[in-house]
Structure 1
């Protein structure tokens, strides 16, 4: 007899007072705010040329916090972005600082469409990270006007800057084996868990998100090797293509973009933009290299949020995940080890479209928030009289007393009760919070050969029947790995054609007619997605070639090595 263990995640909840969300965390501090972003432009800059500088085309997507400066990434989503990485002073709070191009204007000639890919420069940076060696890693997507004509200006790369000298100490070029036709590198995390101090952070692993051609690209800087790993969970879900922020609806089919890293447990959490789900993968699986043909990357469905989102951050103190659902205009905290949850901050004006969350080591315990109102820029209805871009700080957000974060053991010390077992992982059971505001999700690990409808849980049934549901709740069954859910294989080759089936499929995206007369089954006209064995799924041209995961061929170590200085 197969025993199916399940656990319950309530990924976003809060006390409700007259329909409003009540936050229970420290206050939001305004660090910087702008109606539109302005630059300290060179004296000879063509300021009257909208293709060089157009204030309503400059959208901030990422931040990195140093001791004295805050770095801001403004990718070339549209024409009219003069510089893609800039700085503002950190210690002057609440002002609208003029952006200083980093490290200087010679790195940003792509704004004038005069760029040599062999030179040191930056085309379009979505996000940056600072390592423990005080170096800034700038991830250059190499794509200009990604929301207009998607010009691949240069191959993607990473430039590593020594923040003590503001000089480039390393350039990392990505080989064609890990690049696809519309590759767009948008985010990354740096894994220093096995790095040796004597190597000056040149032996780290970097996990990079490819948003348009969804995948995680792994860079082993110690061996100068790169490989690509993809999984259907990294793709967008068409059911969540449209987002809604205070009545402004916009459609954006972005794949994996949000990513954060738990160094203690060795887990990477990630989320596509167009989904309400959060996933995780072990760093050991990412570090293992390209997948053999036929192998599948071991991805875990962590839980379900109330709406779409991008920004993710993780507390090094206890492993709590900070995230920001778009529609709720809030910052929430959830500890996957203890299931403790709370709304840290809620603000309808200041938390519209949180593009990035940062937990800098330079300001322990604080969360920095970048809200950009990207949706208004995207819809071309931005009001330049409003404050549209903000850098906010939540001081002490990570200092609240919570369950201790224990390496390799996420049960409370001395706990003698029974935990739910998920594969080889124990989960500390806690009582669900009440009242419940947002949706819940049931997930599993072991697969059961029984039909999903036959799996019952008294705990789950009692929970759903006793808790008030202010929003419509759609039950989600225990996931059966033997049956492909429509979500799990989206955008991997299926065609959206309606075809005739003579039996009821286990999952259908939408069912039009279903009739039966006695023992005769009538055809069901249905649209199915992601069923790997269905008639709509397009097979590979060459079944012996794994086009998801390609190995990186080694190239000159000296070319990517750190410069001596």
Structure 2
């Protein structure tokens, strides 16, 4: 080979390496929208804030964002009362806000204040709040196609400290145009188990048929799902073996912390309507790597869902592979892709539901050992964007967070872009 051809081959090789490097760099597809070292709130006044700090009703380091959802220019952000000193559990910021925006309590500041006494209770009624607009502690919320915000309120405060059950777990539903409460539904004691815990709400609703909406609340500690019918204003529980955790998938290593969890059914996603009018409901336990599916018609039929024959209506879709435990999932109706968090991989995964579910068909749309340490919640908006909230929860629970670092982040990405080059790509 001549010296000229040799040099030309070197140049070509260098260009190829450069192109690959650029492509690798551009593969970081989720863009950071918001970040906080510690969150701040829209206080009624400076005096109220100072008094709250003095009385320890507000402890900044105890306020950890966990859930999110978008409605128009609002991005709702939940702050569960894991510990004492949480200022407001349900909040929002505006999409147009700056890098570290303050949180605005929703529907009001007053609604997010803990009651001075525990709600009343009788044999026929669970613990009730005097004011049904009160939000005790919520982990996740859902803004539906009918412009309503569904809030799963655990009714439990200071979970990791000295727990207080102010009220029974309940669903609070708000009109997003007026910010007024539409309805509050308390779960009867007969639906609850000793270890019941509700950290998610999935809404099955369609515009044009809003009164016929259903909500599904996975009970991660009771290994069951509570189903709520909006039209009947009634709830019931559904049990199945697939709602339990996998004993081989309960070990986690996140952010340098090793721990074990036994959380059962947790992530759920409602798929596209099929020819027979039903919709598939995909679900998985948190401590599991397997994905399952059942028709929404099974869950919505209170009588049949209790029948032992319904056991065989639940289907195993497949296994995502080792270390693929997931806290949340969401179905995108435009692509048929389910996006899900990957807590052990500091990332976000995807699965095209038109393909079989196995490790080879799973995509990792992004992974970041700093920005995505414990991606906790994930949603898809109606503009084709994925929104992800990461919060380093294991460090918050088992060790401590460094207030000098950015601990909480919200990232977003265009679906058409983030699935390119993955097994989920449909384009």
Q: TM-score, normalised by structure 2?
A: 0.81
Q: 1:124 to 1:328 in 2, by over 3 A?
A: same
State which of 85, 105, 108 in structure 2 corresponds to 1:104.
Answer: 108
State which of 335, 357, 365 in structure 1 corresponds to 2:384.
Answer: 365
Could you tell me which residue of structure 2 aligns to residue 62 of structure 1?
67
Could you tell me which residue of structure 1 aligns to residue 333 of structure 2?
316
Measured after TM superposition, the shift of residue 262 of structure 1 is 0.4
Mapped partners of 2:186, 2:402: distance in 1: 39
Q: Which moved more, 1:245-254 or 1:288-297?
A: 288-297
Higher RCO (C-alpha under 8 Å, 6+ residues apart): 1
Could you tell me which residue of structure 2 aligns to residue 38 of structure 1?
40
Tell me, yes or no, if the aligned pair for 2:365 and 2:418 is still in contact at 8 Å.
no
State which of 185, 194, 201 in structure 2 corresponds to 1:172.
Answer: 185
Q: TM-score, normalised by structure 1?
A: 0.62
Measured after TM superposition, the shift of residue 235 of structure 1 is 1.9
Mapped partners of 2:187, 2:138: distance in 1: 15
Task: Please state if 1:335 is matched with 2:352.
Answer: yes
Could you tell me which residue of structure 2 aligns to residue 350 of structure 1?
371
Task: Please state if 1:299 is matched with 2:314.
Answer: yes
Mapped partners of 1:234, 1:23: distance in 2: 39
Alignment of 1:409-428 (within 5 A): none
Mapped partners of 2:251, 2:151: distance in 1: 30
Q: 1:326 to 1:399 in 2, by over 3 A?
A: closer
Rg comparison, structure with higher value? 1
Tell me, yes or no, if the aligned pair for 1:50 and 1:80 is still in contact at 8 Å.
no
Mapped partners of 2:34, 2:181: distance in 1: 27
Tell me, yes or no, if the aligned pair for 1:309 and 1:324 is still in contact at 8 Å.
yes
Alignment of 1:26-425 (within 5 A): 27-43=29-45, 44-45=48-49, 46-49=51-54, 51-93=56-98, 95-110=99-114, 113-114=116-117, 116=119, 117-120=129-132, 121-193=134-206, 197=208, 201-265=210-274, 266-290=279-303, 291-292=305-306, 294-297=308-311, 298-305=313-320, 306-307=322-323, 308-339=325-356, 340-361=361-382, 364-397=383-416
Measured after TM superposition, the shift of residue 104 of structure 1 is 1.2
Unaligned runs of 5+ in 1: 1-21, 406-411, 413-565
Could you tell me which residue of structure 1 aligns to residue 15 of structure 2?
none
Mapped partners of 2:370, 2:256: distance in 1: 13
Q: How many residues align?
A: 376
Tell me, yes or no, if the aligned pair for 1:23 and 1:343 is still in contact at 8 Å.
no
Q: Which moved more, 1:308-317 or 1:172-181?
A: 172-181
Q: 1:401 to 1:327 in 2, by over 3 A?
A: closer
Superposed CA offset, 1:187-230 (max 9, x none): 1211125x7x2x6x232011111122121111111122211001
Measured after TM superposition, the shift of residue 173 of structure 1 is 2.2
Superposed CA offset, 1:407-449 (max 9, x none): xxxxx9xxxxxxxxxxxxxxxxxxxxxxxxxxxxxxxxxxxxx
Q: Which moved more, 1:118-127 or 1:145-154?
A: 145-154
More helix by share: 2
Measured after TM superposition, the shift of residue 64 of structure 1 is 1.1
Measured after TM superposition, the shift of residue 342 of structure 1 is 2.6
Mapped partners of 1:42, 1:263: distance in 2: 43
